[in-house]
Amino acid sequence: MNQAASRSTDRQHEGAARPGRRRVLAGLGALPAGAVLASAGAAAAAPGEKGKGKGKGKGNTTNGDFRLGVENLLEPEALETLRGARVGLITNPTGTDRELRSTIDLLVEAQDAGGFTMAALFGPEHGVRGAEPAGGSVGDYIDEKTGLPVRSLYGATQKPTPEMLADVDVLAFDIQDIGTRFYTYIWTMYYAMEAAGENGKRFIVLDRPNPLGADIEGFVLEPELSSFVGLREIPQTHGLTVGELARLFNGEFLDGAVSLEVIAMRGYDAEDPAAADLPWVLPSPNIPTSDTAVVYAGTGLIESLNISEGRGTTTPFLWFGAPFITESHVDAIIAELQGAELPGVLYRPMFATPVSSKHAGEFCGGLQLHVTDPMAYEPVRTGIHVLSTLLRTVEEVDWREGEDCRTEEDVCWIDKLSGTKRTRAMLEAGDSPESIVEAWRKESQRFFATTQSYRLY
């Protein structure tokens, strides 16, 4: 997080709850902070002090000396560690080298030289080949190209079973994460690590950049809200690569039960991940661009409203809207967001008709976010401002559950996405967006301190 931004004072008025909406959740603002990692101590520095750099190519990394984890694994010395092993690969279309050659193909081709056998492929949400929509059914089948069995880790079976691992000695993970707690690939990795520990299998992570760099934002997940969009107690953006996150999982949650090896990147600058200059491969159907990956951690919260978050349009998560949002609403929303002086983003009116998901086939008023500086942009802070502005500006805006999201006992999608009921409570009470941001700062700082022993870059 930008230091100047973190010191900024709240420019939003301290408004009351929006007329016509219930205030039964106001008392939730006093809920306890929830579980933060037990080993966390006082932070040596604020999370923002180790945030993203100044822009593509400005950090210590250049494309000439940068190498991905998969590329380092294919070096003869590293490849030798697989000799005699039966390997299962957890991957999807993002598992490639810098020239976009599939990790599946690279490992199949390396079998003879490395003296190992590819035994199976494992697919997360959207599948090994990435063809399934969000929440779509992913089943087991035989991969047409390689002849390998493909086993689904999404849907009925999220954690590999002993039967799935019977013919595997090593599980390797090579998937591009986007740094957000509610993006499910990291929890596929967590469950696979847990299964590997329980079944005596080695686990290897082929490391990749985090598009959000080292930035940490948002509340730490409260354990009672654990789900597949947030299993364990980490913030909304965790500021770690998947390799670093695996090290943290093993050290903080799995008690070191996993025989874990991270094949690190070379020449990676955590403060300027864009300097790696990698071609963008969409990690899921609704993250088609690198800008989408940058905003998703915040605008993904719009899923919790009766507003389209842009699924079914050409700009998912960069656009949001609804049939009941008028031009005057759009003008008011933009004026308020501009008044917040959020860094790295501009706004414009945009009208769209989603072809799927919420409000499919309906003409919707809304607006598009244009990220002007990905390194300065603060996704979760911006997302909270968007939610607050929508709830206070447009009377028809509501939680997507409607009347089923009204009381402290209800568990709503906003609670699972934000990791706490405090976000909902504070928004319902009319608290300013900046007061919500301030409420999570100490948790983010404690988590940042905990991560230091697990960082590789």
Q: Of 23-27, 136-140, 186-190, which gets the smallest average pLDDT?
A: 23-27
Range of 430's domain? 3-11+18-29+284-439
pLDDT value for 270 = 95
Residue 136 lies in a domain: yes
Residue 326 sits in the same domain as residue 200:
no
CA 204 to each of CA 78, 119, 249: distance values in angstroms, whole numbers, following the listed order: 11, 15, 13
pLDDT value for 155 = 85
Could you give the number of structural domains in the chain? 2
Token digits of residue 237: 């953006």
CB neighbours of residue 330 within 10 Å: 21
Residue 24 sits in the same domain as residue 116:
no
Residue 445 lies in a domain: no
Q: Of 21-30, 70-79, 165-174, 341-350, which gets the smallest average pLDDT?
A: 21-30
Tens of pLDDT, residues 98-123: 999 999 999 999 999 999 999 999 99
- The DSSP string of 185-224 is HHHHHHHHHHHHHHTT-EEEEE----TTTT--BSPPPPGG
Residue 84 sits in the same domain as residue 138:
yes
Higher per-residue confidence, 264 vs 22? 264
- CA 37/CA 41 separation, integer angstroms: 9
Mean pLDDT of 53-72: 65
pLDDT value for 287 = 96
Residue 180 lies in a domain: yes
- CA 248/CA 189 separation, integer angstroms: 12
pLDDT value for 273 = 95
Higher per-residue confidence, 452 vs 3? 452
Residue 311 sits in the same domain as residue 358:
yes
Average per-residue pLDDT in the chain?
88
Residue 251 sits in the same domain as residue 328:
no
Residue 267 lies in a domain: yes
Buried b (16+ CB within 10 A) or exposed e, 40-55: beebeebbbebbbbee
pLDDT interval class at 129 (50, 70, 90): confident
User: What percent of the chain is predicted at pLDDT more than 90?
Assistant: 82
Residue 349 lies in a domain: yes
pLDDT value for 21 = 32
Residue 361 sits in the same domain as residue 420:
yes
Mean pLDDT of 339-364: 98
Is residue 4 within a helix (H) or strand (E), and if so which, with residue range? helix 3-7
Q: What is the CATH number of the domain that holds 94?
A: 3.40.50.12170
18 pLDDT more than 70 = no
- Residue type present at position 331: D
Residue 272 sits in the same domain as residue 377:
no
Residue 48 lies in a domain: no
Residue 339 sits in the same domain as residue 410:
yes
Residue 267 sits in the same domain as residue 314:
no
pLDDT interval class at 311 (50, 70, 90): very high
- CA 450/CA 18 separation, integer angstroms: 39
Q: Of 37-41, 51-55, 237-241, 245-249, which gets the smallest average pLDDT?
A: 37-41
pLDDT value for 135 = 61
pLDDT value for 139 = 75
- Residue type present at position 418: S
Residue 296 sits in the same domain as residue 276:
no
Residue in the block written with tokens 């037990």? 38
pTM of the model: 0.87
288 pLDDT more than 60 = yes
Residue 41 lies in a domain: no
Pick from 58, 65, 92: nearest CA to 178: 92
pLDDT value for 363 = 98
Q: Is 153 helix (H, G, I), strand (E, B) or coil?
A: coil
Residue 388 lies in a domain: yes
pLDDT value for 63 = 55
- CA 122/CA 346 separation, integer angstroms: 40
pLDDT value for 127 = 86
Q: What is the CATH number of the domain that holds 408?
A: 3.90.1150.140
Residue 291 sits in the same domain as residue 249:
no
pLDDT interval class at 28 (50, 70, 90): very low
pLDDT value for 2 = 38
Residue 212 sits in the same domain as residue 361:
no
Tens of pLDDT, residues 242-257: 999 999 999 999 999 9
Mean pLDDT of 234-240: 98
Tens of pLDDT, residues 354-376: 999 999 999 999 999 999 999 99
Residues 6+ apart with CB under 8 A from 314: none
31 pLDDT more than 50 = no
